[in-house]
């Protein structure tokens, strides 16, 4: 009896190969007792191998089931950890929001307190502070002049009004010139309470750019904008108008508003020129007054005693309010009131866009009137 290799392999696995003695040609004994005994031994080994195989199969099944259980447990633990992490993150974010709200309120309170303290304290610099220093020093100088010994002695070491004015007058004049500079600078920097725009600098004529140019400027990419500005001579005002991205209708109304604004700019420019001229005239007048004082103090026309009894006598000195006592200026409350519908440039826009309650505009201020 001959078996192939494929037939012998499963037999060897289950212990049947021992029956045939693992040979290609198997001989069965002729004696039946021997053959029976041999078969019984082989059957016992086969059953033992079969039991071992069943045990290995059962153990492998147990291992697979254990692996499945462990995977489920890991997944469940992962879900629990993720849930705990999400809850912890949520709680942390809530705590941060509470802290942010608390710190924001505290910051607002501190800013308000700081602004209140600034409003209550005197300015450390600026025209007000300089003017206060000038008034204090002027009063101090007058007191010192009043206390000078005015005997007509010819001692060279004797203090005189001329010597005193030479020493103290220069510092006082420097402070006063600084006061004038800062006062005029403050007025020129703040002629109106609205924001100041950069495009006012080169704005010398009414706005005349057409809508298509503004539209093309808005269509340019940020890399082509500088080239377009240089090529079409785009001004700061054109860039400001383009930043609003107006429609054709909005652009039409915007040009009317800009015409009115150009009139305002011209008025303020005229005021600035007047202020510059006024500042120059004040310094010229101060210089002429200095010349007069130097002539009187440096000459021997009047003695120091006569000068002290006349020039600095209390009945000849004016109170601090020269506004009324010298220049005879009165303060009169005044109100500008206008109906926007009647304005030359804004009238059409007001009629189309405003309600009746918004037509009227009022402006209150104190007018200075000089009585002749």
Tell me what pLDDT residue 270 has: 94
Tell me what pLDDT residue 268 has: 92
Does 294 reside within a domain? no
Question: Which of 101, 121, 141 is the last residue before a domain boundary?
Answer: 121
Alpha carbon distance 250, 214 (integer Å):
12
Does 250 reside within a domain? no
Closest alpha carbon to 18 in 1, 38, 32, 34: 38
Considering its fold, how many domains does the chain have in total? 2
Q: What is the DSSP letter of 156?
A: T
Does 281 reside within a domain? no
106-115 long-range contacts, Cβ below 8 Å, gap at least 24? none
Tell me what pLDDT residue 155 has: 45
Enumerate residues 6+ apart whose C-beta is below 8 A from 335: 362, 363, 364
Alpha carbon distance 283, 272 (integer Å):
17
Check if the beta carbon of residue 137 is closer than 8 Å to that of residue 174.
Answer: no
Percentages (nearest 5) of helix, strand, coil residues in the chain:
70, 5, 25
Q: Residue 88 sits in which domain range? A: 1-121
Question: Which of 100, 121, 142 is the last residue before a domain boundary?
Answer: 121
Does 305 reside within a domain? no
Does 350 reside within a domain? yes
CA 142 from centre of chain? 50
Q: Which position has the token pair 């601090």?
A: 320
Does 5 reside within a domain? yes
Alpha carbon distance 290, 349 (integer Å):
56
Question: Which of 121, 140, 164 is the last residue before a domain boundary?
Answer: 121
Alpha carbon distance 118, 76 (integer Å):
63
The DSSP code sequence of 114-152 is HHHHHHHSPPSSSHHHHHHHHHHHHHHHHHHHHTS----
The DSSP code sequence of 272-289 is HHHHHHHHHHHHHHHHHH
Check if the beta carbon of residue 237 is closer than 8 Å to that of residue 207.
Answer: yes
Query: What is the full per-residue pLDDT of the chain (372 aa) written as tens digits?
Result: 444 554 444 444 444 444 444 444 445 555 565 555 656 656 666 666 666 666 665 666 566 666 666 787 888 888 888 889 999 998 999 999 999 988 988 888 888 888 777 766 555 556 677 767 777 776 776 666 666 554 444 444 445 666 666 666 777 788 888 888 888 988 888 888 888 888 898 898 889 999 999 999 999 998 999 999 999 999 999 999 999 999 999 999 999 999 999 999 999 999 999 999 999 999 999 899 888 878 877 777 777 667 666 655 555 565 567 777 778 888 889 998 999 999 888 888 888 889 888 999 998 988 888 876
Tell me what pLDDT residue 212 has: 94
Tell me what pLDDT residue 74 has: 80
Alpha carbon distance 13, 338 (integer Å):
115
Strand, coil or helix: 71:
helix
Tell me what pLDDT residue 121 has: 58
Per-residue CA distances from 246 to 207, 251, 352 (Å): 15, 6, 17
Does 84 reside within a domain? yes
Alpha carbon distance 142, 154 (integer Å):
23
Q: What angle do CA 136, 137, 139 make, to 5 degrees?
A: 65
Does 173 reside within a domain? no
Tell me what pLDDT residue 313 has: 57
Alpha carbon distance 283, 266 (integer Å):
26
């Amino acid at each position: 009896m001959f078996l192939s290799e494929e037939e012998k392999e499963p037999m060897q696995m289950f212990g049947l190969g021992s029956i045939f003695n693992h040979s290609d040609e198997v001989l069965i004994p002729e004696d039946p007792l021997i053959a029976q005994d041999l078969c019984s031994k082989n059957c016992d080994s086969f059953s033992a191998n079969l039991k071992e195989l069943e045990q290995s199969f059962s153990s492998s099944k147990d291992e697979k089931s254990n692996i499945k259980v462990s995977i489920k447990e890991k997944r469940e633990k992962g879900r629990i950890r993720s849930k705990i992490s999400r809850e912890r993150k949520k709680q942390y974010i809530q705590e941060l929001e509470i802290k942010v709200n608390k710190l924001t309120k505290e910051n607002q309170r501190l800013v308000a307190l700081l602004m209140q303290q600034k409003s209550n304290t005197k300015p450390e610099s600026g025209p007000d502070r300089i003017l206060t220093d000038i008034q204090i020093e002027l009063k101090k100088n007058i007191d010192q002049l009043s206390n000078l010994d005015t005997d007509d002695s010819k001692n060279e070491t004797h203090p005189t009004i001329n010597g005193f004015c030479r020493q103290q007058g220069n510092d006082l004049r420097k402070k006063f010139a600084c006061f004038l500079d800062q006062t005029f600078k403050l007025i020129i920097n703040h002629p109106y309470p609205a924001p100041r725009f950069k495009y006012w600098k080169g704005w010398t004529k009414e706005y005349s750019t057409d809508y298509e140019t503004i539209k093309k400027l808005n269509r340019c990419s940020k890399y082509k904008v500088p080239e377009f500005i240089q090529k079409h001579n785009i001004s700061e005002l054109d860039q400001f108008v383009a930043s609003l991205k107006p429609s054709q209708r909005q652009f039409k109304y915007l040009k009317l508003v800009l015409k009115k604004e150009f009139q305002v700019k011209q008025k303020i420019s005229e005021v600035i020129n007047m202020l510059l001229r006024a500042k120059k005239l004040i310094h010229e007048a101060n210089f002429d007054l200095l010349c007069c004082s130097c002539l009187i103090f440096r000459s021997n026309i009047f003695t120091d005693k006569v000068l002290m009894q006349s020039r600095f006598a209390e009945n000849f000195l004016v109170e601090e309010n020269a506004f009324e006592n010298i220049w005879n200026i009165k303060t009169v409350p005044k109100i500008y009131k206008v109906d926007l519908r009647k304005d030359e440039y804004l009238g059409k826009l007001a009629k189309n866009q405003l309600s009746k309650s918004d037509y009227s505009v009022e402006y209150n201020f104190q007018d200075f009137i000089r009585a002749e």
